Amino acid sequence: MAEPVRRTRGGGGAARRAQRSAVSFETAKYIERNIPNFEVLNEEALEIIERNAETILEEIGVNFPDNPVALQRWRDAGADVQGERVRLPRGLARELIKTAPASYTQHARNPDRNVVVGGNSLVLAPVYGPPFVRDAAGGRRYATMEDFRKFVKLGYMSKWLHHSGGTVCEPTDVAVNKRHLDMLHAHMTLSDKPFMGSVTEPSRAQDSVDMCGVLFGKEFVQQNTVMTSLININSPMTFDDVMMGALEVYAQNNQACIISPFIVGGAMAPVSVAGTLTQVLAEGLVGIAYSQLCNPGAPVIFGAFVTSIDMNSGAPTFGTPEAAHITYGAGQLARRLNLPYRSAGAFCGSKLPDAQAAYETSNSLNMGLLSGVNFMLHACGWLEGGLVSSFEKFVMDADQLGTLHHLARGIEIDENAQAMDAIREVGPGGHYLGCAHTQANFKEAFWKSDLLDYKPFETWEDEGARDTQTLASLRVEKMLNDYQQPAMDPATREALDAFVAERKAAEPDSFM
Amino acid sequence: MAEPVRRTRGGGGAARRAQRSAVSFETAKYIERNIPNFEVLNEEALEIIERNAETILEEIGVNFPDNPVALQRWRDAGADVQGERVRLPRGLARELIKTAPASYTQHARNPDRNVVVGGNSLVLAPVYGPPFVRDAAGGRRYATMEDFRKFVKLGYMSKWLHHSGGTVCEPTDVAVNKRHLDMLHAHMTLSDKPFMGSVTEPSRAQDSVDMCGVLFGKEFVQQNTVMTSLININSPMTFDDVMMGALEVYAQNNQACIISPFIVGGAMAPVSVAGTLTQVLAEGLVGIAYSQLCNPGAPVIFGAFVTSIDMNSGAPTFGTPEAAHITYGAGQLARRLNLPYRSAGAFCGSKLPDAQAAYETSNSLNMGLLSGVNFMLHACGWLEGGLVSSFEKFVMDADQLGTLHHLARGIEIDENAQAMDAIREVGPGGHYLGCAHTQANFKEAFWKSDLLDYKPFETWEDEGARDTQTLASLRVEKMLNDYQQPAMDPATREALDAFVAERKAAEPDSFM
């Protein structure tokens, strides 16, 4: 019942040092589900949504503003293009997406950390995008590059996290036109897990590809997927030229993109679940079809970032049942398209890593696993509606991700699991603690938190009656103290440093 | 998409006062699932577990200590009885349980609050049994009858809670042999929701039946189920004579019992999920068969209270993936027996209503809904492994129970839900906030918390940067201030008071 667990690479000395450390450097293999997906929509409902999505594309269409190249691609593919509006004949998008692979491997510089995205797999990646960070000691503040590096280190050391992510926080102290270089450099050098590329300008996507060429070798990058990057659709039904430009760079270089409507329900999509799913499907079909127009066969993920809204305040709300319905439904739609699926995350609206944050997060994580998500961005560290990357919540969530691994195993039913000998041995009125079956199996039987408190009340009180946030602060501190950088060929490191220095010197700083 | 919501009864004045109050007195109807159950075991695994359970009953048997009446019943039914050990021929238990109903109605004194237990329903009841209470102001302390009354009031006022429960905390300031009278009196007079009876002595079960005779009328009680009470099995495979005596009283009076193995995995059952499920099934079969030997047709619930264990400390652990597996699996086994199913709850091991508590609780609540639970005890207020009833967590969990109601609705797919006119109206690049469909639907579209914080950061900070526990403390205080007792016929009230006074006078206090 054990996951295949992989120890970090490194020399014998590093391995011994890692073993002596109380903080684990193991990384679990990405999740391979041995449980069914939870399906809330029946065949009739799915067909209605699919038919309506085609109606949207045919009747209403989508916008590709400021993008004559894209419009020409659509014209050539047989779409009806009027101004920036693109209308697709029924079935065109479905035909175009047939070249997209059902799954792909994203390579890491440490091949043991490669991930498969699609099928029954689930890859977990950390929070993406917040301009602020928070910790218990320092409160809420603008994120810096130093914060960014700390999150990459924590991600590297988090056993249940398979992916280093992308913009784990927005390093606001580095120029907007240069911070992607520092972020990529951090992912490449401070971790050996797979990572994401920049999407804020097509040129920065190209920088990401080029920098991967330094790390992996140019030829390797052209033949293998080494990044999965996030392309948001500007819902409703608008495909921003910057994002489409980045998508084009990645697709043409055989790099993967998540193509994801970004929806606050009731604002960017209808206030109903079925209506939102219809729009999500229409948008996803167009985005993925466009990736295949750029390069047939380019790896893509069908994404759905969807939250509900508090209609009193207009605030997005997280971990809600309506978000769960959409996530379950979108998973069914993605599987019917035979595409990898991205959704869910450690979503919450709370300002603090408190009970609200945890209720909302658990609702979302559980629903993400059961809905068949293949790539879960924001799987740890997300706070305050995505405005804040929280250090404490990062390690709290990362610990909970272990529950998803164990849930996904399903239930063993072999002779050892049936445990009939144990039941015979113990009998009525006995207890199992000392029996042979328990002794043989207890180490692997139950998921065990590395963070949560299971101590007797008196011990807990003597130790200061600490709550989860306090325990998490201590864990963050210990992990950062125990961090050891994964080994890297010095020539590669120098080449990466030189690449960043050269690109930075090539243009003045911009903070716009 | 609205649940049928029922306003509290009472005179016009009371109703107007209730309407003026900001705290809601509405109670949602019990959940009727419009979503599938999540099934983790395949047919082969189910058959193995069922076959093994029969093997346990045939080969190993179960104990009915100190209970010659029960042993004689088993002999008469065709079991092999040796000493206190009862072995059942294959198929006997399955044959006996056929008389148990697939569902039943539990009546409340307010008929609008009646609940149906079984089928696709889910009835939510509060925490049961803790000797301690905790709130932010007073910390952790032994529970008193005054605490008990407060919890009954909170339960009465909690919209998503359908049931008043039983021992919401253990009132340690009242004599052990008399506290059941005060507890029942509180449920009967401070709430009008359905409730549970005493099981700590057969005579107290009889008191519960008699007191219900006063409240509902003796004839009504004989013809209708007015209590659902909790009979624990002393796992492994031991049926305590006190519990069996209480079960006998209830069964013979047509009152419902949850028959529930009480298992800390690895201690009272094998350390494997399949082994635990096998034992749970064997135990449940025997307990339910015994209820039908006492009175064929008596309403019963197949229960499973199962936690995992921290093998380092021996502490039970909650909200874990292994507990989820067992809960999903036991639901499948219960449905194959065509019996109502009890499991899950707001389980957590945390000492405080913090993030740990909420992670563990959400894991368990979500799994409870999806596993097809029909009766969920401990659905709010549970803290510290069941040692503590928490005031703050009671209202925090009770708020989260709203998410289960909305999840269970499933996804509407009618024309309004499809929202095609809204998508046409808004078009690419627009927004939905003001469109006709949103205006018509937003009030019912999304579940809304009555507790959690969705405010802008600055507002939240100006108001004191309150965490969930702080908000919950305020809500507890407000609810208790706003509480209004449901109306009761004065003659009934006097008769209840007299019943309690008479029973209390009949014997000296005992604190053993």
The minimal CB distance from A322 to the residues B36, B353, B446 is found for B446
Does A454 score more than 70 pLDDT?
yes
Radius of gyration of chain A (CA): 23
pLDDT tens-digit map of B472-496 = 999 999 999 999 999 999 999 999 9
Contact B351/A39, CB-based, under 8 Å?
no
Q: Describe the strand order of the beta sheet including A85-87 as a list of residue ranges.
A: A62-63, A85-87, A80-82
List B residues 149-208 in contact with A (Cβ-Cβ < 8 A).
Answer: none
* Burial of residue A15, with CB atoms counted within 10 A of its CB: 0-12 exposed, 13-18 middle, 19 or more buried: middle
- How close B38 gets to chain A, by Cα (Å)? 6
- What is the per-residue pLDDT across A323-366, written as a single tens digit (0 to 9) for each? 999 999 999 999 999 999 999 999 999 999 999 999 999 999 99
A411 and B40 Cβ atoms separated by less than 8 Å? yes
Expressed as residue numbers, the domain containing A427 is 418-445
Residue B422 belongs to some domain of the structure: yes
CA atoms within 13 A on the CB side of B338: 9
Mean pLDDT of chain B: 94
CB-CB neighbors (< 8 A) of A429 in chain B: 63, 234, 236-238
B43: nearest CA in chain A? Answer: A413
ipTM: 0.95
**Cβ–Cβ of B274/A354 closer than 8 Å?**
no
Check if A313 contacts B (Cβ < 8 Å): yes
B350 lies within 8 A of chain A by CB: yes
**Contact across the interface for B38 and A38, Cβ inside 8 Å:** yes
**CB B386 within 8 Å of CB B129:** yes
Q: Which long-range contacts (CB under 8 A, 24 or more apart) does A150-154 make?
A: A150/A391, A150/A480, A151/A126, A151/A127, A151/A381, A151/A389, A151/A391, A151/A394, A152/A186, A152/A187, A152/A190, A152/A191, A153/A190, A153/A191, A153/A479, A153/A480, A153/A483, A154/A391, A154/A394, A154/A395, A154/A398, A154/A476, A154/A479, A154/A480
- What does the pLDDT average to over A44-69? 98
pLDDT at B326: 97
In 3D space, the residue among A185, A166, A108, A149 whose CA is nearest the CA of residue A496 turns out to be: A185
| Higher-scoring residue by pLDDT: B224, B444 | B224
Q: Do A417 and B273 touch (CB under 8 A)?
A: yes
**Residue in A108, A28, A354 with CA at minimum distance from that of residue B350:** A354
For range B10-34, the mean pLDDT: 63
Specify the pLDDT at position B20.
Answer: 44
Question: In a mutagenesis test of the A interface, which of B383, B401, B454, B473 is the best target, namely the one with the most A β-carbons within 10 Å?
Answer: B454
A 17-76 residues with CB below 8 A of B? 35-36, 38-41, 44-45, 48-49, 52, 55-56, 59-63
pLDDT number for residue B314: 85
Residues 6+ apart with CB under 8 A from B345: B127, B364, B365, B368, B376, B377, B378, B379, B382
The partner residue sitting opposite B442, judged by closest CB among A311, A441, A467, is A311
Give pLDDT, residue A5. Answer: 42
Does the residue B109 lie in any domain? no
A435 occurs within a structural domain = yes
Q: Answer positive or negative: Cα dihedral of B47, B51, B56, B58.
A: positive
Contact residues, chain A, for B363 at CB < 8 Å? 362, 366, 403
Is residue B1 scored above 70 in pLDDT? no
pLDDT digits (tens, 9 = 90+) for B189-236: 999 999 999 999 999 999 999 999 999 999 999 999 999 999 999 999
> Which of 67-96 (A) contact B at CB < 8 A?
85
Confidence check: pLDDT of A15 > 60: no
**Position B297 in a domain:** no
Question: What pLDDT is stored for residue A188 in this prediction?
Answer: 98
Q: Which residue do the tokens 């696993």 mark? A: A369
Residue of B nearest to A308 (CA): B446
Q: What share of chain B is helix, strand, coil (3-state, %, to 5)?
A: 45, 15, 40
- What token pair was written down for B377? 């005890």
A178, A185, A188, A472, A483 from A493: Cα distances, Å: 19, 9, 9, 32, 19
pLDDT digits (tens, 9 = 90+) for A74-87: 999 999 999 999 99
The first and second tokens of residue A463, run together, are 């130790």
| Tens digit of each residue's pLDDT (9 = 90 or more) over B387-417 | 999 999 999 999 999 999 999 999 999 999 9
pLDDT of residue B22: 41
DSSP β-bridge partners for residue A31: A122
List chain A residues with CB under 8 Å of B412.
272-274
Share of chain A above pLDDT 90, in %: 91
Reduced to 3 states (helix: H, G, I; strand: E, B; else coil), residue B120 is coil
User: Cβ distance B493 to B17 under 8 Å?
Assistant: no
- Per-residue pLDDT tens over the stretch B82-137: 999 999 999 999 999 999 999 999 999 999 999 999 999 999 999 999 999 999 99
Would you call B267 and A432 a contact, using CB atoms and an 8 Å cutoff? yes
**Considering only CA atoms, which of B280, B291, B282, B189 is closest in space to residue B246?**
B291
Instruction: Give A316-319's long-range contacts (Cβ < 8 A, gap of 24+).
Output: A316/A264, A316/A349, A316/A385, A317/A349, A317/B446, A317/B449, A317/B454, A318/A347, A318/A348, A318/A349, A318/A360, A318/A361, A318/A364, A318/A385, A319/A347, A319/A348, A319/A359, A319/A360, A319/A361, A319/A362, A319/A363, A319/A364, A319/B362, A319/B403
- Among A369, A341, A349, residue whose Cα is nearest residue B446: A349
User: What DSSP string runs through A453-470?
Assistant: ----HHHHHHTT---HHH
Nearest CB to A267: which of B39, B403, B433?
A: B433
Q: Could you tell me the sign of the dihedral formed by the alpha carbons of A55, A59, A64, A69, in that order?
A: positive
A5 versus B152: the higher-pLDDT residue is B152
B324 interfaces chain A, CB cutoff of 8 Å = yes
Q: Report the gap between the CA of A423 and the closest CA in chain B (Å).
A: 7
Radius of gyration of chain B (CA): 23
Position B434 in a domain: yes
Residue type, B107: H
Residue B468: which of B348, B319, B354 has the closest Cα? B354
Please tell me the predicted confidence (pLDDT) of residue A372: 98
Q: How far apart are CA A201 and CA A246, in angstroms?
A: 6
DSSP result, A113-168: G-EEEETTEEEE------SEEEETTTEEEE--HHHHHHHHHHHHH-TT----BS-S
Q: Which residue, among B261, B358, B220, B221, has the nearest Cα to A360 in the 3D structure?
A: B358
Residue B324: closest CA among chain A residues belongs to which residue?
A407
Please give the average per-residue pLDDT across A160-180, as a whole number. Answer: 98
Residues A444 and A116: their CA atoms lie apart, in Å, by 25
* Cβ neighbours of A406 in B, within 8 Å: 320-322
Helix (H, G, I), strand (E, B) or coil at A56: helix
pLDDT digits (tens, 9 = 90+) for A309-334: 888 888 999 999 999 999 999 999 99
Are the beta carbons of A427 and B60 separated by less than 8 Å? yes
- Is B39 a domain residue? no
* Percent of chain B clearing pLDDT 70 (strictly above): 95
SS3 category, B144: coil
User: Can you give the pLDDT at residue B312?
Assistant: 81
Contact between residue A28 and residue A162 where contact means Cβ atoms under 8 Å apart: yes
Q: What angle do CA A103, A108, A109 make, to 5 degrees?
A: 155
Task: Categorize the per-residue pLDDT at A21 as very low, low, confident or very high, splitting at 50, 70 and 90.
Answer: very low
Q: Which of residues 94-133 of A touch B (CB under 8 A)?
A: none
Between A and B, how many CB-CB pairs are < 8 A? 407
Q: Which residues make beta-bridge pairs with A165?
A: A195
Residues B117, B25: contact at Cβ < 8 Å? no
Which one of B314, B351, B358 has the shortest CB-CB distance to A359? B358
Partners of residue A411 in chain B, C-beta under 8 Å: 40-41, 45, 273-274, 277, 325, 329
- Tell me the pLDDT band of A219, cut-offs 50, 70 and 90: very high
**Is there a contact between A274 and B411 if contact means CB atoms under 8 Å apart?**
yes
Total Cβ atoms within 10 A of residue A438: 25
- Average pLDDT for residues A395-403, to the nearest whole number? 98
Distinct helix (H) and strand (E) counts, chain A: 19, 20
A197 alpha carbon, distance to own chain's centre: 13
- Number of structural domains found in chain A: 1
Quick check: is B170 in a domain? Answer: no
Q: Is the pLDDT of residue B17 over 70?
A: no
Tell me: pLDDT of B183 over 60.
yes
Residues of A in contact with B355 (CB under 8 A): 353-355, 357-358, 396, 467-469, 472
Cross-chain Cβ contact A321/B406 below 8 Å: yes
Asked whether the predicted pLDDT for residue B344 surpasses 60, the reply is yes
Count the Cβ atoms, other than its own, within 10 Å of residue B128.
22
Q: Cβ distance A396 to A379 under 8 Å? A: no
What 3-state DSSP class applies to B54?
Answer: helix
Contact A418, B48 (CB under 8 A): yes
Q: Which of B203, B161, B160, B168 is nearest to B187 (CA)?
A: B168
In a domain, A79, yes or no: no
Smallest Cβ–Cβ distance between B351 and the set A48, A438, A453 belongs to A453
Residues 430-459 of chain A with CB under 8 A from chain B are: 430-433, 437-438, 441-443, 445-449, 452-457
Closest by CA to B123, choosing from B102, B143, B106, B146, is B106
Taking contacts as CB-CB distances below 8 angstroms, the residues of chain A near B473 are none
pTM: 0.95
The 10 Å Cβ neighbour count of residue B42 is 13
Chain A, 247 to 276: residues with Cβ < 8 Å from chain B are: 265-276
Residue B337 CB partners (closer than 8 Å, separation 6+): B94, B97, B285, B288, B302
